[in-house]
């Protein structure tokens, strides 16, 4: 679950991570002006959207007065903010108002799980304020890492050593290591799957603050965190993903033109690879789940076809728990009730595959014997279209 910056800072503050003072979130220009007045007449107006690069795109501005805040908020609220991470643009519906700070040094800090070592890893770099991927490519030695056994936790001397390896200014090693201690505690406390601070700001007064924050929560652990329930949004950055989420469908939009519907994450990823090898571009990841019934399949097909980029659909089902005849019924029901103008290739194997194929016989759907054959057929049909 992605949460906004202001929500992330609330989570961090509960674990003692220092964050800038704020006057709340506003969804009107008048509220923004009042918030800046509460801060003493100056404030930073920050668009609350799930993307990086907001500053370059005009999503972060300093208001020198409440009147200036009113005008800034008027122009920012409702704007479509386009960044390198979200070139399609995201609508700004609310803004965070924070105290202005003078940053003398920017540091990058993050905590995330490393599935290879089966440990959590703390990443630190003195070259904050820019994409960590660019730092890794230009100067990999500028990034220091510390693997932390989740059962043993982290020791203070390890955090100080990490700071020295990351070339943090000596005068701030103790403050930064203390910040990292609180950051790691927050990561564990809220069952985060990612916790990123960029920049971790050193101010002209010597404070160390999370000037920006990105926190992703492991949705599987939300039952342990009723305090986070209010952070879940029905409105997400991608409306199709939001609709799929409401229907409890595992769907990720990828931007290609070949829609993918499979059962099981492994089969879905393998099918995406097969489409890629055949020269196509997957439009999505969609796992219909085990034991899919006809209505469920119809809903999934509707989600995939709501993407205007989709020029064809590949349905690849291996029946174990899932019955292929139920999938076939769902596909037929969907195609009869929807105005579908793109080709659909269907490959069925496993439980009741023969019965499923018999249901599909005589329809406009294109049958395929193997996954590779199905991928080649849908790519050919999409290219022909």
Catalytic positions, please? 108, 196
Please classify residue 230 by burial: count the beta carbons closer than 10 Å to its beta carbon, then call 0-12 exposed, 13-18 middle and 19+ buried. exposed
Q: Collapsing DSSP states into helix, strand and coil, what is residue 148?
A: strand
Q: How far apart are alpha carbons 213 and 50 in whole angstroms?
A: 11
Please classify residue 347 by burial: count the beta carbons closer than 10 Å to its beta carbon, then call 0-12 exposed, 13-18 middle and 19+ buried. buried
Q: How far apart are alpha carbons 291 and 288 in whole angstroms?
A: 9
Q: How far apart are alpha carbons 371 and 233 in whole angstroms?
A: 36
Instruction: Give CB contacts under 8 A, 24+ apart, made by 163-171.
Output: 163/124, 165/124, 166/107, 166/124, 166/125, 166/126, 166/142, 167/126, 167/142, 168/107, 168/124, 168/126, 169/105, 169/126, 169/202
Strand order in the sheet with 250-253: 250-253, 284-287, 258-262, 312-319, 344-350, 366-367
CA 4 remoteness from chain centre: 11
Residue 144 backbone zone (phi > 0: left; psi -120 to 50: alpha; other: beta): beta
Q: How far apart are alpha carbons 204 and 102 in whole angstroms?
A: 6
């Amino acid at each position: 679950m992605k949460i906004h910056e202001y929500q992330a800072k609330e989570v961090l503050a509960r674990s003692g991570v220092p964050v800038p003072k704020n006057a709340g979130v506003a969804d009107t220009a008048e509220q923004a002006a009042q918030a800046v007045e509460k801060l003493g007449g100056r404030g930073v107006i920050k668009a609350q959207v799930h993307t990086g690069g907001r500053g370059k795109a005009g999503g972060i501005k300093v208001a020198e007065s409440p009147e200036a805040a009113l005008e800034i908020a008027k122009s920012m609220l409702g704007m479509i903010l386009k960044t390198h991470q979200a070139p399609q643009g995201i609508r700004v519906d609310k803004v965070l108002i924070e105290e202005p700070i003078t940053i003398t040094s920017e540091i990058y800090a993050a905590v995330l799980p490393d599935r290879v070592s089966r440990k959590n890893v703390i990443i630190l770099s003195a070259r904050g304020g820019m994409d960590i991927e660019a730092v890794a490519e230009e100067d990999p030695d500028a990034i220091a890492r510390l693997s932390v056994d989740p059962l043993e936790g982290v020791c203070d001397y390890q955090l100080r050593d990490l700071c020295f390896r990351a070339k943090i200014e000596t005068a701030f090693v103790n403050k930064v290591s203390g910040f990292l201690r609180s950051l790691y505690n927050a990561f564990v406390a809220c069952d985060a799957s990612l916790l990123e601070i960029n920049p971790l700001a050193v101010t002209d007064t010597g404070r160390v603050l999370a000037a920006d924050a990105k926190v992703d929560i492991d949705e599987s652990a939300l039952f342990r965190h009723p305090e986070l329930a209010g952070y879940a949004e029905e409105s997400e950055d991608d409306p199709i993903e939001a609709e799929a989420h409401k229907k409890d469908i595992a769907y990720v939009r990828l931007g290609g033109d070949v829609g993918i519907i499979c059962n099981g994450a492994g089969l879905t990823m393998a099918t995406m690879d097969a489409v890629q090898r055949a020269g196509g571009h997957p439009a999505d990841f969609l796992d219909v789940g085990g034991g899919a019934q006809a209505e469920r399949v119809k809903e999934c097909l509707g989600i995939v076809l709501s993407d205007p980029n989709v020029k064809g659909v590949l349905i690849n089902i291996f029946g174990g728990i899932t019955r292929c005849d139920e999938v076939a019924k769902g596909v037929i029901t969907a195609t009869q009730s929807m105005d579908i103008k793109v080709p659909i290739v269907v490959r069925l194997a496993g439980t009741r595959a023969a019965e499923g194929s018999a249901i599909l016989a005589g329809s406009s759907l294109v049958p395929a014997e193997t996954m590779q054959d199905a991928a080649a057929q849908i790519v050919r049909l999409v290219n022909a279209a």
